[in-house]
């Protein structure tokens, strides 16, 4: 299978990376331009940190994982396609998938070093902290049982606070369809929780 990158024509004349668009930088990144890559990672550091914190909790853990997330973006740069979605939407997908992979692996391996910590710093004591972690773990298990589209819509909307329009772009679905996924997903979650 051959990898097809966007042509360099428009992007190769960039002299000031800070003024370049995400798409222009990503074209350069696909051609192994590390300076363009660093500009993109710096530009979207906040978004990446926010996504990782939603999955893993503490600021320290999220900062520790950003290097791994950046490597993942670099390794998957060939999957980005100009004009298909905004770069931030593509980045969101890559980082979210990597976080889910890490959570899945730690669940399978029962690795105590990577236990999900979704409690915010305001937790008053260890008991609340443990209880919140158990609730998060149970919720992740219930989400995993949902149909893929419902699961993705719920995660993007609630965990990542994505706008409906961003979810539509990412899922390549209409607003009505996304709202339906959210509604049916919540109904399914309630039914599974009651069960």
Here the CATH number for the domain that contains residue 178 is 1.10.10.10
Taking the alpha carbons at both ends of the chain, their separation in whole angstroms is 46
pLDDT of the residue at 131: 53
How far CA 128 is from CA of 26, 53, 114, 124, in Å, comes to 43, 19, 19, 7
Chosen domain end from 65, 94, 125: 125
pLDDT of the residue at 87: 86
Over residues 14-68, the pLDDT tens digits come to: 678 888 999 999 999 999 899 999 999 999 988 888 888 888 777 677 777 888 8
Chosen domain end from 125, 153, 180: 125
pTM value? 0.51
> Looking at the domain assignment, is residue 184 inside a domain?
yes
Here the CATH number for the domain that contains residue 16 is 1.10.1740.10
Query: Counting beta carbons within 10 angstroms of the beta carbon of residue 154, is it exposed (0 to 12), middle (13 to 18) or buried (19 or more)?
Result: buried
pLDDT of the residue at 56: 78
State how far the Cα of 99 lies from the Cα of 172, in Å rounded to an integer: 22
Kindly indicate the confidence band of residue 132, based on its pLDDT and cuts at 50, 70 and 90.
low
């Amino acid at each position: 299978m051959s990898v097809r990158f966007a042509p360099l024509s428009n992007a190769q004349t960039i002299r000031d990376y800070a003024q370049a668009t995400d798409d222009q930088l990503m074209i350069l990144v696909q051609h192994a331009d590390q300076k363009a890559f660093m500009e993109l990672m710096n530009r979207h550091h906040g978004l990446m940190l926010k996504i990782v914190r939603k999955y893993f909790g503490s600021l320290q853990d999220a900062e520790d994982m950003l290097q791994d997330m950046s490597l993942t973006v670099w390794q998957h740069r060939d999957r980005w396609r100009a004009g298909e979605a905004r770069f931030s939407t593509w980045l969101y997908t890559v980082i979210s998938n990597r976080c889910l992979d890490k959570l899945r692996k730690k669940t399978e391996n029962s690795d105590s070093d990577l236990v999900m910590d979704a409690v915010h710093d305001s937790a008053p004591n260890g008991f609340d902290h443990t209880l919140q972690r158990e609730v998060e773990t149970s919720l992740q298990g219930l989400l995993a049982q949902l149909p893929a589209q419902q699961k993705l819509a719920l995660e993007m909307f609630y965990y990542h606070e994505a706008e409906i329009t961003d979810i539509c772009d990412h899922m390549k679905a209409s607003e009505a369809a996304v709202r339906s996924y959210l509604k049916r997903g919540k109904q399914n979650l309630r039914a599974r929780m009651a069960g």
